[in-house]
Structure 1
Amino acid sequence: MLAMLASAPSNAATPQQEKMKTCNADATAQSLTGDMRKAFMRKCLKAKPATQQDKMKTCNADASAQTLKGDERKAYMSDCLKKK
């Protein structure tokens, strides 16, 4: 039974695979090649994910810069925190 579980393919991507996919797409979007692409990928893959507190600070600063208030600010913050 264990052997069957170990050999069963997993369709879910690991967090590292997801990070690689995202970094690769970003490098492609920036048209990076050669050493520039390698450097970008190395930095991107080593980057730690932002904490919720970091996201909140960034989104809050962006909302303030746009002088959003009330429901508009709440909607922006909700969307921003989901994306980043």
Structure 2
Amino acid sequence: MSMRLSLLFASVSLVFATAAFGATPQSKPLSSSQQKMADCSHAAKGKTGADYKSAVSSCMKGDTTAAAPAKMTSQQHMAACAKENAGKKGADYKSAVSACMKAH
């Protein structure tokens, strides 16, 4: 019985200690570099892996060319060319899409 009582006391103490620690206000503002990192991380949202790291690194360095839109994938490029030539049919459509794909 004393073992159970000890465990109960320890867990209750842990709960109160955690609650007291969590209630401590975190009023310390972010430093300028921490704020810049947060902003760059937010700007690179949706990217993963090497693309994310590259975007955040470029942003932290102040590289303004990184803000330019990323190069379209071939699938996105094909969709754009198809949309551009939507009114054409048959061989005209195929040749127009082909020329569009080669132009970019």
Smaller-chain TM-score bracket: 0.3 to 0.5
Give the TM-score taking structure 1 as reference length: 0.42
Larger radius of gyration: 2
